[in-house]
Chain A
Amino acid sequence: MRSATQRLELKPERLDVGEFSRQPLSIAGRSFVADVSGALYWPAEDALIVADLHLEKGSSFASRGILLPPYDTAATLERLAATLDAYSASTVICLGDSFHDVGAADRMSVRDRETLGILQEDRTWIWLNGNHDPKIASCFGGRVLSEITVSGITFRHEPTASPVTHEVAAHLHPAARVSFHGHVIRRPCFVANGNRLVMPAFGTYAGGLNVLDDAFAPLFGNDGLSVLVMGQEGLYPIAARLLKED
């Protein structure tokens, strides 16, 4: 595996000052910014991209007798609002599985709907379909598409299962298990190789799939992958040799 740093185009001198909350990320020559919240910002297009919100996952479980705390939708929207405040992007692209199931519209509270409406004001809002939300109710506003290509970069929910380039996808909920000095930490992460990116899930109740899982192998082939691990305060580029399987 080649050094992960080249592909992430990190500037080591920047890392020393503890400025970890935003990391530059290059995909097929375009410059993006990965944010500690798990969102991706594209300065050239003034677009904010988020993946796998899984809104109303809590109530979906509740309807089956597992009464998870009913705050996940509000919490997800709250974090999304904070990220939008920081970047004030004119376009938002949600990379699919924004709703945990097609019944989410019936279960979402009035208050959460209103919050979502406020976030959508004065900006272009694009929902991409995912496997959890093949249909998205019209009451949620925005444009609904299966995928979209912007300035040569294709955004879609499920990553193409071969080593393609120019793609930003989601679906797999990448997470990294970092083992260092006797401590083990498992956190969501961005996983990329300079040509394509798989985004971490943004949803409060979204779990994570280890980047060393077989599901990632066909995407990145033998080129190796590099990860940006989401801490509480920053995004940390972690060497592949420190990653562990579950």
Chain B
Amino acid sequence: MRGVREKAKRVSADPRRRAARRPADEAASPRAVEAALPAPFDAWFARRGWSPRAHQLALLAKAEERRSTLLVAPTGAGKTLAGFLPTLVALEKQPRRRSNDAGSGLHTLYISPLKALAEDIARNLVAPITEMGLRVSIETRSGDTSVARRARQRARPPHILLTTPEQIALMLASPDASYVFGSLDTIILDELHALAPSKRGDLLSLGLARLHTLSPGLMTIGLSATVARPSELLSYLMPQTQPDDRRTMADLVVARGGAAPVIEILEIEEPVPWGGHSARYAMHEIYRAIAAHRTTLVFVNTRMQAELVFQELWKLNEASLPIALHHGSLDKTRRQKVEQAMTEGRLRAVVATSTLDLGIDWGDVDLVVNVGAPKGASRLTQRIGRANHRLDDPSTALLVPANRFEVLECRAALDAAKAGEQDTTISRSGALDVLAQHVMGTACNGPFDPDALYREVRAATPYAGLTRNRFDRVVDFVSTGGYALKAYERFARLRPTEDGKLRLSHPSLARQYRMNAGTIVEAPMIKVRLVGRRRSRKPGAPRPLVGGRVLGEVEEYFVEQLSPGMTFVFAGEVLRFEGMEETEAYVTRAPGADAMIPSYAGGKFPLSTHLARRVRAMLADPKQWSGLPTPVAEWLTLQQRVSQLPGVDDVLIETFPRRGRHFMLIYPFEGRLAHQTLGMLLTRRLERAGARPLGFVANDYGLAVWALGDLGQHIADGTLDLADLFAQDMLGDDLESWLAESALMRRTFRTVAVIAGLIERRHPGLEKSGRQITFSTDLIYNVLRRHDPGHILLEAAWEDAATGLLDIVRLGQFLARIRGRIRHQPLVSVSPLSVPILLEIGIEPVGGVTREDILRDAAAELIADATRAGNGEAT
């Protein structure tokens, strides 16, 4: 670290300090519960020269009292062992005769978000179990588990089964669920902070509610990293049975934090660039930091950044340090190789995206570098937690802002970490498509009583507020499609029994369910295969392509924009796109070429609301600038002189002409997603106002709209009223009509339709070969919008989009916040603050173009061709 530390300004913070004061931890005095640890365990700890940690014993004490508990602990605190200790102790204490009888039933279910994590944990558990001489059987179960083994697991369950949420749903849907789970005693939910706030978390919550019914008295143990509001997870662990809004909570154990992490913002003589995301300017420093440490994790926010940073580091890598790349698009075997090398300590650095935010513990990381802004205080804490899993050494982290706005954001994140703040998350209401899948799964298990199921579903925290009306509509959807036109009564999938229950109308529906269960609907992915050109026998003849290995996968829409000959960066090298061969993209190496395709959007996070507020406050208060690098402080001073600074609770709007276009810059600081939605809606409104908008770009901090009409003049003469332009009603009709054309909404609907079981999943390998008539969900979407606009799946898709990709909630809060607080600053030229946003033009795809325009332009191409042909030129 020395190389960096000399020039870097050092700021330390301890995000865990506040957590460490929690009373639950004080209560967990090791002495009070020492008796709970049976002899083989004590002996085992002693042989290893270890002693049980306070939170491990505290959790054990809770388990003795049969209290469901959430353990919040940083990585490396022995969280997993803590989770399993109660189970191992309980099984050890059981009479021998019963515990070694494999037919005694499933005792503990361990659920993890990652299949690989479950397998890793299983391997790690075998050692202590063998060493302690415990007679405990452990198995894992996933989609890859053989049919025979799965059948055996149902007939003779192991004591401990490690699996994923999807497998739980599938097991619950089988007729023998009550046999398998009837004796269940404990459920351990790992990485709960990552799992709970998602559709997978919704599905799991419904499964938990079911398990609580099947096995009353069940104890749940949640394992989580530091979270903003543990109350969300505390209630997630418990069945909600109170008649009012009050939530039943599990107990909380917080592990004592280790040494305070050392966080620094990289500050070097080279000025931070105005825009861009590559942090190229800082590569020498990052490389020097890697060289000065044992093992470094370099976190970035997008796959594109990962590729770029990786390339840049290798350009500098004169010492040939083993530096690897890890992101979600890379081929699985490649990723596993990297993980393997990491575990074995053979790597000096890994450049990674959020794929490594959670998961398998790697002991030896002593530095975390975060390139780009951390986007949220919690994410930063989580990433820093990846360093130094030995709790007592301080984690060391280096923040590397890629542009000037990110300097502000890094500073805000650091201040937040210093204050021990976490981003607050909006509590989640359970997704309706997931509920539909669960209702179908329940019917596959056997006939169900709708009243009882409604009660059970409401016991799941995300569905605690579900109204009976909505529940009934979901059941109606599962049964007959839930259409306003009641046309499918005779094709109903659920039929009433004599005793008022609902049963599956045909056993084949259970097979259909099994094929389509789960909530992960992947965007269609294209394999990227590296091919070579065989040497041609005849000179001048085309050289045939020869297939090679698969480098990974990219989203279909990324490949769609490529034409043969274009170059892009992937899997750490510059590749030339050669063409599509069936479902694969063929590429060749293009060393030395500059990549033509600058970006693809996979895995971007919007700035958290919490950090955004801090950034605004910092901007508005020149007194705080003294802590900023000089060029950044100068930049803000210049902005103050030329224009104005955005305030904490208002919005600054600048207008200026530039190269024959008229620009409007808006600085809401509400994150990229909300800005994109705002951009879409603003261009529609400006179009209507006759301002002739041409397009817009958005980043996390603001957006730029440009037009042919003189926007500044329109505002000045009153033909364009800013209060009207930013009125909250834009979230009504304008949003509605934009969504009709929005590709994003169509993608969202497709996901919802698959999860809810309206249409079947595409199963790789099972697709018909030869010609295919593609039947897209767009057709269904169009028909529903027109003929059944109140349909429950449209409602579900809308809710998804509003909270997810469109971030309408946040945009709505913004519009409400700025009412009567819009400050307009007309300018003659570009403002300093606008530069980073304007630099996004050409990097980001420009919004605001409709499909019809594209077809019209494409047709115009043909006319141009025809005209040239008419003039005697070749087409």
Contact = CB atoms under 8 A, between A and B. Distances in A.
Contacts of B759: 66, 68
Contacts of B865: 3, 5, 239
A148 B480 CA distance: 41
A179 B488 contact: no
B216 to A, nearest CB: 34
A67 B480 contact: yes
B787 A209 contact: no
Given A173-B773, A209-B771, A231 B855 contact: yes
Contacts of B771: 209, 213-215
B628 interface: no
A237 B864 CA distance: 12
Given A69-B483, A185-B851, A231-B851, A5 B866 contact: yes
A184 B483 CA distance: 32
A33 interface: no
A141 interface: no
B855 A185 contact: yes
Given A180-B854, A236-B859, A67 B481 contact: yes
Interface stretch (B36-44, B380-388, B506-514, B826-834): B506-514
Given A184-B557, A245-B580, A15 B859 contact: yes
A180 B855 CA distance: 8
Given A180-B857, A209-B774, A215-B771, A71 B866 contact: no
Contact of B487 (A3, A70, A236, A245): A70
B774 A175 contact: yes
Contacts, number: 159
A200 B336 CA distance: 47
B774 A207 contact: yes
B788 interface: yes
B875 interface: yes
Interface stretch (A57-65, A113-121, A158-166): A57-65
A231 B491 contact: no
A183 B856 CA distance: 12
B786 interface: yes
Contact of A183 (B493, B851, B859): B851
A146 to B, nearest CB: 22
A42 interface: no
A69 B491 contact: no
Given A180-B854, A207-B775, A70 B869 contact: no
Contacts of A65: 491, 493, 506, 508-509, 512
A173 B563 CA distance: 26
Interface in A182-230: 182-187, 204-209, 213-215, 229
B506 A70 contact: no
A205 B777 CA distance: 10
Nearest to B488: A62
Contacts of A229: 855
A178 B560 CA distance: 10
Contact of A71 (B485, B512, B776): B485
B561 interface: yes
B509 A3 contact: no
B259 interface: no
What range describes how many residues of A lie at the interface? 35 or more
A186 B556 CA distance: 13
Size range of the interface on B? 35 or more
A32 interface: no
Given A5-B865, A66-B759, A245-B580, A181 B854 contact: yes
Contacts of A213: 771
Contact of A74 (B557, B787, B791, B845): B787
A137 interface: no
B783 A236 contact: no
A153 interface: no
A234 interface: yes
B686 interface: no
B561 A182 contact: yes
Nearest to A13: B863
Nearest to A62: B491
Nearest to A236: B859
B861 A242 contact: yes
A109 B487 contact: yes
B779 A205 contact: yes
Nearest to B556: A184
Contact of A239 (B760, B855, B861): B861
Contact of B772 (A20, A74, A209): A209
A151 interface: no
B521 to A, nearest CB: 16
B858 A236 contact: yes
Contacts of A182: 561, 845
B425 interface: no
Contacts of B772: 209, 246
B355 interface: no
Interface string B488-526: 100101000000000000101100100000000000000
Nearest to B791: A69
Contact of A179 (B481, B560, B852): B560
B867 interface: yes
B318 to A, nearest CB: 38
B775 A59 contact: no
Given A208-B773, A215-B771, A69 B854 contact: no
Most buried by B among A70, A175, A231: A70
B779 A204 contact: yes
Contact of B858 (A75, A180, A207, A214): A180
B455 to A, nearest CB: 26
B849 interface: yes
Interface centre among B481, B758, B786, B855 (most CB of A within 10 A): B855
Interface string A1-23: 00111000010100110101000
Contacts of A215: 771
A229 B865 CA distance: 17
B1 interface: no
Contacts of A74: 787
A233 interface: yes
Interface string B802-845: 00000000000000000000000000000000000000000001
Interface string A23-60: 00000000000000000000000000000000000010
B116 interface: no
Nearest to B776: A207
Contacts of A180: 854-855, 857-858, 861
A232 interface: yes
Given A67-B758, A69-B788, A234 B773 contact: no
A240 to B, nearest CB: 9
B784 interface: yes
A61 to B, nearest CB: 9
Interface in B47-73: none
Given A67-B758, A68-B758, A62 B481 contact: yes
B780 interface: yes
30 contacts: A3-B866, A5-B862, A5-B863, A5-B865, A62-B488, A65-B508, A66-B760, A68-B758, A69-B481, A69-B483, A69-B783, A70-B487, A71-B483, A109-B487, A178-B855, A178-B858, A180-B855, A185-B851, A186-B774, A205-B780, A207-B775, A209-B774, A214-B771, A231-B852, A236-B858, A238-B862, A239-B858, A242-B861, A244-B560, A245-B580
Interface of A: 3-5, 10, 12, 15-16, 18, 20, 59, 62-63, 65-72, 74-75, 109, 173, 175, 178-187, 204-209, 213-215, 229, 231-234, 236-239, 242, 244-246
The 8 closest A-B pairs by CB, nearest first: A67-B481, A207-B775, A70-B487, A71-B787, A236-B859, A184-B560, A207-B773, A180-B858
Interface of B: 480-481, 483, 485, 487-488, 491, 493, 506, 508-509, 512, 557, 560-561, 563, 580, 758-760, 771-776, 779-780, 783-784, 786-788, 791, 845, 849, 851-852, 854-863, 865-867, 869, 875
Given A59-B487, A180-B854, 5 more contacts: A71-B483, A180-B857, A184-B560, A209-B772, A236-B858
